[in-house]
Amino acid sequence: MRHALKIEYHGGPFSGWQRQKGHPSVQQAVEEALRKLQPDAPGIAAAGRTDAGVHALAQVAHCDLNREWDPFRLAEALNYHLRPQPVAILAAAPVEEDFHARFSATERRYLFRLVCRRAPVTHEKGLVWQVPHALDGAAMREAAQCLVGRHDFTTFRASQCQADSPVRTLDEVTVEETDYPGGREFRFRLRARSFLHNQVRSIVGTLERVGAGAWPPEQVREALEARDRAACGPVAPPQGLYLAGVSYPRDPFGQG
């Protein structure tokens, strides 16, 4: 029986989602918990392979088990075996055999948190990108608009990206601004069917340069049109990035 899992995790202790020999991964942690329930449980697949240090609020994976589990009991059992690692199963649900966490997904949503303050962040260390200088939110919002839509994002993808095409459609790039103790927080929200490797971090790092006044907003459009990785701004660090959600034609967890 195939089951979907909604997974939250702190990426700090892990080398990323994907299992890697000799390095801790979120996939390995969940698979080992599953094998406490079923020793011959096969490997699992996820909606997105987050990099080292990247977090998830609602990663989705699917697993195949030899019987149908009550969703609540499956989540509880896995959470018991995942302790004390910073990984939690938020929900589990039986799904059709043709459901695939990656290939059935119709949308992925990412959140990036950037905090501006001089004093070191304490409570959320490792959960946000901190810069000591102020940022111009209006300038970043202006610059971000040219990225919405279907474009060749060669400039904003890692050189080792394995995607067949650099063309992607970004449905949303928004920049929200709010108070943060001793400073300001900016939340970047990006939404698309799929993303290129390092695309979100490349975009956020470039927009930060606009906010800091190092780039004029129009330079982001020029960088996009250059289709050249060398035209990209600095890549933002991983600790501010979260896989915030994944959508499917029918929500496997029954939440709309």
DSSP-based three-state secondary structure for 216: coil
- Beta strands 167-180; 183-192: pairing state: antiparallel
**Rounded Cα–Cα distance for residues 188 and 92 (Å):** 28
Amino acid sitting at position 209: R
Candidate list 40, 51, 64, 164, residue with the active-site label: 51
- Measured in residues, the chain has a length of 256
- φ and ψ of 146, to 5 deg: -70, -15
Nearest to 133 by CA among 120, 148, 153, 116: 116
Q: Do 88 and 64 touch, CB atoms closer than 8 A?
A: no
For residue 246, CA distances in Å to 40, 109, 119, 243 come to 28, 6, 35, 8
Nearest to 48 by CA among 60, 37, 39: 60
- φ and ψ of 140, to 5 deg: -65, -40
Q: Which residues of 42-61 are buried (b: 16+ CB within 10 A; e: fewer)?
A: eebbbbbbbbbbbbbbbbbb
Does residue 51 have an active-site annotation? yes
Nearest to 34 by CA among 102, 86, 92, 104: 92
**First CA to last CA across the chain, in angstroms?**
23
Catalytic residues: 51
